[in-house]
């Protein structure tokens, strides 16, 4: 029997292994044929072995990768067996993201089975992305953000009121800053994107808050399954329950948005929030398209699923980005007391000039606040890299190298942000790097916390405004300092692609 197994199954096993080896390595000479400098890939892993085995955090991996590539304008790379061109040169980045954007319209995305994923702006492609983006962009104009100001101001006041109670004492209290600002951000997004007034700091047990707080909570099994399917069998994603967020929570949030839409349609009630602006923009687009030739072409505007998907995306992406920005800005201000004091003085002066009820105008008159947030985004960008997909064969300017349709292009944001060629002494926190004078000395394509070009983050202005409002209420009334639980320097968490401190960011807050 054993001899039979050796004669039959052993050869079959060898053939299978040979097939798998050939399958996973057949394009490993891709960049060599192109004449592009590349890193030699490894079977199964390509060039991301340390990341796949969780030896390095996502941010640390891409920072180290950038440094090992320094000196090249672009480098051939393999994420698993997928060929990727990593672009380091600012002018090539300019071509990819702006000047020749028509060749890189899409992001590398997956065909996920859930409609709420498929219809999110992040995952839309080509003309469909362009049409939805054109409807969403006006919702984040200066005029529209000013209309949303009272809603954000209310969230800022709730943060202040909570901290007044929680820090009642001479020494203040110690907080996990990501958790604290997560509550503020959740309240801001709930009121702006879902039309719901919440106070998660005072009422953490409401159904909406308890559900939304589990949005990115996935089991270890689901995380690992998602990770390995993406790496080894991405075509299976449309058949498997792959999701980057808790699907039950997404369905709950979708039902909240649908109920809000029904209520507003039946009552003719309107509210100055993102959801209403989407509904209004959609109605205007329908009316305009119908009047052009007298026919109803409403299929070219957003259906209800697409509208709901954008609100859910707002929560998925906005929650983490805004709370992280506030967390790491507070961390830097706690470490740099002199900058914190100067910023507090600027906030007080601007509020005296404009009044707290006109906080939108006040934050426009706070240049140091703008520089502090920009320097925070430089040192602590939410994403370590951004990606584009080549949608049409493209020849890199001043070369004969062709990027083939379907190839991914990666821009290592964190590496650019820590490159001493652009930012001398990059480990230091120096807000004045972002003064008008200093900004004029370097390329605009080496500061990319929200991407750049037509496919940048559509809600970046909202994210900055909401974080500025929170910081105004915090520094005007409280002092931030390090404590015995503050990890200096902090270490990146190895188990997430988004920026997260391994042991959290703990700071002391006490009233002035």
Query: What's the pLDDT tens digit per position in 305-342?
Result: 898 899 888 887 888 899 999 999 999 999 999 999 99
Average pLDDT, the chain: 89
The whole-number pLDDT of residue 211 equals: 79
The whole-number pLDDT of residue 5 equals: 56
Statement: residue 477 has pLDDT above 60: yes
The whole-number pLDDT of residue 445 equals: 98
Give the residue from 54, 61, 108 showing the smallest Cα distance to 84: 108
pTM here? 0.92
The whole-number pLDDT of residue 298 equals: 47
Please tell me whether 457 is known to bind a ligand. Answer: yes
286 token code pair: 């329908």
Statement: residue 220 has pLDDT above 70: no
Q: What is the mean pLDDT of residues 136-146?
A: 90
The whole-number pLDDT of residue 20 equals: 72
Query: What's the pLDDT tens digit per position in 85-133?
Result: 999 999 999 999 999 999 999 998 777 767 888 888 998 999 999 989 9
The whole-number pLDDT of residue 4 equals: 57
- Please list, in sequence order, all residues whose beta carbon lies within 8 angstroms of the beta carbon of residue 182, skipping any fewer than 6 positions away: 213, 319, 323
Better-predicted residue by pLDDT, 384 or 81:
384
DSSP string across 332-374: HHHH-HHHHHHHHHHHHHHHHHH-GGGHHHHHHT-HHHHHHHH
pLDDT band at 287 (very low <50, low <70, confident <90, very high): confident
Distance CA 185, CA 322 (A): 7
Better-predicted residue by pLDDT, 427 or 5:
427
Angstrom CA distances, 385 to 41, 61, 216, 303, 388, stand at 20, 11, 20, 31, 10
The whole-number pLDDT of residue 2 equals: 58
The whole-number pLDDT of residue 348 equals: 98
363 token code pair: 């934050």
Q: In what order do the strands lie in the sheet with 408-411?
A: 74-79, 82-87, 408-411, 386-389
Domain residue spans in the chain?
A: 27-115+394-448
Better-predicted residue by pLDDT, 32 or 240:
32
61 token code pair: 């991996």
Q: What is the mean pLDDT of residues 138-147?
A: 90
Phi, psi of 508 (to 5 degrees): -95, 135
281 token code pair: 């923009």
pLDDT band at 166 (very low <50, low <70, confident <90, very high): very high
Statement: residue 461 has pLDDT above 80: yes
Angstrom CA distances, 263 to 206, 278, 280, 282, stand at 20, 15, 15, 17
Statement: residue 240 has pLDDT above 80: no
Query: What's the pLDDT tens digit per position in 388-428?
Result: 999 999 999 999 999 999 999 999 999 999 999 999 999 99
Statement: residue 353 has pLDDT above 50: yes
Statement: residue 435 has pLDDT above 80: yes
Better-predicted residue by pLDDT, 109 or 366:
366
Reduced DSSP (H G I as helix, E B as strand, rest coil) percent helix, strand, coil of the chain, to 5: 60, 10, 35
Q: What is the mean pLDDT of residues 45-50?
A: 92
Q: What is the mean pLDDT of residues 172-198?
A: 91
> What DSSP character marks residue 124?
-
Query: What's the pLDDT tens digit per position in 21-40?
Result: 666 778 899 999 999 999 99
Q: What is the mean pLDDT of residues 213-221?
A: 69
pLDDT band at 299 (very low <50, low <70, confident <90, very high): very low
């Amino acid at each position: 029997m054993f001899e039979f197994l050796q004669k039959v199954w052993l050869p079959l096993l060898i053939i299978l292994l040979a097939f798998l080896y050939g399958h996973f390595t057949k394009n490993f000479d891709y960049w060599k044929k192109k004449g592009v400098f590349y890193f030699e890939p490894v079977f199964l892993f390509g060039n991301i072995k340390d990341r796949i085995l969780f030896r390095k955090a996502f941010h640390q991996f891409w920072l180290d990768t950038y440094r090992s590539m320094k000196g090249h304008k672009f480098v051939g790379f393999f994420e698993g067996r997928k060929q990727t061109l990593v672009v380091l040169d600012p002018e090539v980045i300019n071509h990819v993201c702006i000047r020749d954007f028509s060749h890189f319209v899409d992001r590398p995305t997956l065909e996920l089975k859930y409609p709420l994923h498929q219809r999110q702006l992040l995952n839309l492609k080509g003309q469909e992305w362009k049409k939805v983006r054109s409807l969403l962009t006006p919702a984040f104009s200066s005029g529209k953000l000013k209309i949303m100001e009272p809603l954000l101001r209310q969230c800022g006041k709730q943060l202040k009121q909570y901290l007044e109670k929680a820090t009642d004492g001479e020494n203040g209290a110690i907080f996990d800053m990501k958790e604290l600002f997560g509550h503020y951000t959740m309240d801001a997004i709930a009121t702006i994107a879902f039309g719901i007034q919440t106070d998660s700091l005072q009422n953490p047990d409401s159904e909406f808050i308890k559900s939304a707080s589990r949005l990115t909570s996935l089991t270890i099994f689901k995380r690992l399954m998602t990770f390995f399917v993406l790496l080894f069998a991405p075509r299976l994603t449309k058949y498997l329950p792959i999701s980057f967020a808790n699907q039950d929570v997404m369905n709950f949030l979708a039902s909240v948005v649908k109920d809000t839409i029904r209520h507003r349609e039946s009552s003719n009630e309107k509210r100055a929030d993102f959801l209403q602006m989407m509904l209004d923009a959609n109605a205007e687009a329908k009316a305009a398209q119908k009047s052009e030739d007298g026919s109803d072409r409403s299929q070219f505007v957003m259906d209800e699923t697409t509208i709901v998907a954008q609100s859910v995306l707002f929560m998925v992406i906005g929650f983490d980005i805004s709370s992280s920005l506030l967390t790491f800005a507070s961390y830097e201000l706690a470490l740099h007391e002199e900058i914190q004091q100067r910023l507090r003085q600027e906030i007080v002066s601007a509020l005296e000039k404009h009044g707290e009820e006109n906080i939108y105008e006040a934050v426009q008159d706070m240049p140091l606040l703008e520089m502090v947030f920009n320097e925070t985004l430089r040192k602590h960008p939410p994403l370590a890299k951004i990606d584009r997909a080549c949608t049409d064969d493209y020849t890199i300017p001043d070369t004969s190298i062709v990027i083939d349709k379907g190839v991914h292009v990666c821009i290592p944001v964190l590496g650019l942000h820590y490159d001493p060629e652009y930012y001398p002494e990059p480990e230091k926190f120096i807000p004045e790097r972002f003064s008008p004078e200093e900004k004029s000395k370097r390329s605009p394509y080496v500061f990319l916390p929200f991407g750049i070009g037509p496919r940048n983050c559509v809600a970046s202005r909202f994210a900055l405004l909401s974080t500025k409002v929170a910081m105004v209420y915090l520094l005007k009334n409280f002092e931030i300092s390090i404590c015995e639980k503050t990890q200096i320097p902090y270490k990146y968490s190895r188990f997430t692609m988004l920026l997260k401190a391994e042991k959290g960011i703990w700071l002391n807050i006490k009233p002035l």
